Amino acid sequence: MRAVVQRVSESSVTIDGRTVGRIDVGLLVLVGVEHGDTPADAEWLAGKIAALRIFADEAGRMNRSVRDVGGATLVVSQFTLVADTARGTRPSFIRAARPEEAVPLYERFAQALGDATGRPAERGVFAADMRVALVNDGPVTIWIDSRRKTDAAPDASPGAVPDTTPSPESTTETSP
């Protein structure tokens, strides 16, 4: 699954002139489901997004998550996120999951995100022709792909880079 996460001061989704989802401060999350994505991908992505520290703390540093600030989330399905543009100028969407595979994962992701933030996620309507409005705050826009995740040590913070510096013992030459 792929997501584009945008920190917003407000966002809304309108279909045929009717607002179906609206938030104030929080995250607009555009989600694309790819063939082979799993419920585990949906759960991982929701947890990652809920914990992203992209809101300012008292010192003005990006150090707080959407749940820390009591922000809302708006989830919008967007199959174009899995576009392949490697050949030619017309994007290929062959990797996008068919609706029978994508809808349950989209719904699971939205539910998991709501659970992780403590507030139900507002939603667009899957496969509808939507008008998405937003005021990007910052701007802050993050792209996340569940297929690019790495396993971190249990005590490592999200996104932590493992220390590969050799220890003094491993660099000490020994005499025969």
**What amino acid positions are annotated as catalytic residues?**
78-80
**71 closest CA partner among 3, 117, 13:** 117
The answer to whether the bond into 139 is cis (omega within 30° of 0) is: yes
Reduce the secondary structure of 72-127 to three states and give it as a string.
Answer: EEEEEECHHHHCECCCCCCCECCCECCHHHHHHHHHHHHHHHHHHHCCCCEECCCC
Distance (Å, whole) CA 141 – CA 53: 12
DSSP one-letter code for 146: G
Evaluate whether 80 touches 31 at the Cβ level (below 8 Å): no
Q: What is the dihedral of CA 64, 125, 93, 33, to 10 degrees?
A: 50
Distance (Å, whole) CA 126 – CA 78: 8
The backbone torsions φ and ψ at residue 29, rounded to the nearest 5 degrees and listed phi first, read: -120, 115
